[in-house]
Every structure is written in structure tokens, then in C-alpha cells.
Amino acid sequence: MMSGALNATKDVVQAVQSAYDYYLWTLTLSDKRTQGWLFVDSPGPVFALIYLYLLIVYFGPKWMKDSIIVTYVNRITRAVWWYFFSKLLEFTDTFFFILRKKHDQLSFLHIYHHSTMFFFWWIGIKWVPTGTTFLPAMANSLIHVLMYTYYGMSVLGPKVTKYLWWKKYLTIIQMIQFTTALALGINGIFIGCDFPLWMHYTLILYMISFIVLFGKFYVKAYIQKYKDYREMCQQRALNENIKSD
């Protein structure tokens, strides 16, 4: 009986060794390009993570059974209010222009943008401070981070301003934002989004006004300015040719 048990043990050991040798052999067939990549070299971490996943699936519902559900509705509402409040703080842009006698920067676009944004976001926080409202607020906040980063760098002197060639792309990004919001407003009407219909139409008209105004600004500030500069260079070259003749 003892010899039979030893033989059975040897058979098991040989089977395990054969399986391990086969496993090592399969590793030699693996693609060299992914060697050393995360979770690729060995199946151990993969199985460990799968086991952890199954444990969470099994014990998770039991653990959550008596727990209190956390709601983030109020957090989103507060975030929308802070965004609304930031539109009030942006009035200081205009005040600083006045104090510095930069009256040429008090354009219709500037005044229209600052005054209407504060009003329309009051409507947002008053009636629809939800996730649907939070998304454009978050996107616009990110764009304003880029804008005020540019403005902050622009006052650091010539050593920094030479790297601010990307100013016009801020306007392009803003126009992309307005176009996206316009598309979302139109789509919301067609799919029957749970959002006041009059707000969809207001959003559409408001975004169209921004696209038109920012588009005119872009043409005047960059396209027309470039054409005028090119014509000036051509005229200067022509005058120099006439003088040389």
C-alpha cells in the first residue's frame, strides 16, 4: 500500500512538473513586444485581480445592504452656484480695463458676454442646477483657466510674451465650445431631453449670437489683420523697388 501511495505521489508530481514545463514553453511563444508591460509577463496578477473582483461581487452587495446611499445632487448644485458666482467676479475684468483706461477693450462683445452670462446662469441656478447644467459650466471653466493663464503670462514681460503665440487658438476653442453647446441644444429638442423646452431654444439663440460675435472678432483680429499686414509688406516691397529703379 505504501509503494502504491508513493507511485501515485510521483505521478502527481510528474504531472504537475509536466504542466509547469508546458507553461514555461508557452511563455517562449509570447510576443516579445509586450514583455515587461504591466500585468503581461505572468498570469499571477491577472488571476489575483479576478479573484479580488469576484470577492467584491460576492461581499459587496452584503456590505452595501444596510449602508446609506450617498447622493451627489447637492454637490453638483453647489458647483453650479459657484460657477454662477464666478460670472459676477468676472465683472472685475471690465473694472480693471476702466481703471487702466483701456477703453478700447470695452467692446460690445466684451460687455455683452459679461452681462448676459451672469443673467443666464442665474436662470440656470434658479431652475435647472443639475448635471445637464454642470457639464457646460465645467467645460467653460476649463477654457477660462487657459484664458487667465494666458492673461497672467502676458504681463510677465517680453521674455514670456514671445511664447504666447497660441492666443488665437483660445478663440477657436471658445467657438468650438459654442458650436458644441448649440448642437447639444438642438439634439435635446429632437430627443425630448428632460429639460425645459424654452431653455433649449434660449440656449440655441444665445450660442448663435456668440458664434457670430466671436466669429467676427476672429476675422477682424487675425484673418483681416494678417491680410492687412501682408498688403503692407507688399506695398513696402513695391516702394523699395521703385526707389531702387
| C-alpha torsion sign, points 186, 192, 195, 196 | positive
Q: Is 110 a catalytic residue?
A: no
What type of residue sits at position 2?
A: M
Between CA 144 and CA 150 the distance in angstroms is 10
Buried/exposed code over 233-244 (b: 16+ C-beta within 10 A; e: otherwise): eeeeeeeeeeee
Question: Cβ distance 46 to 39 under 8 Å?
Answer: yes
CA distances from 182 to 64, 80, 127, 175, 176 (A): 41, 20, 20, 10, 10
- Catalytic residue of the set 103, 110, 113, 200: 113
User: Which residues form the catalytic set?
Assistant: 113
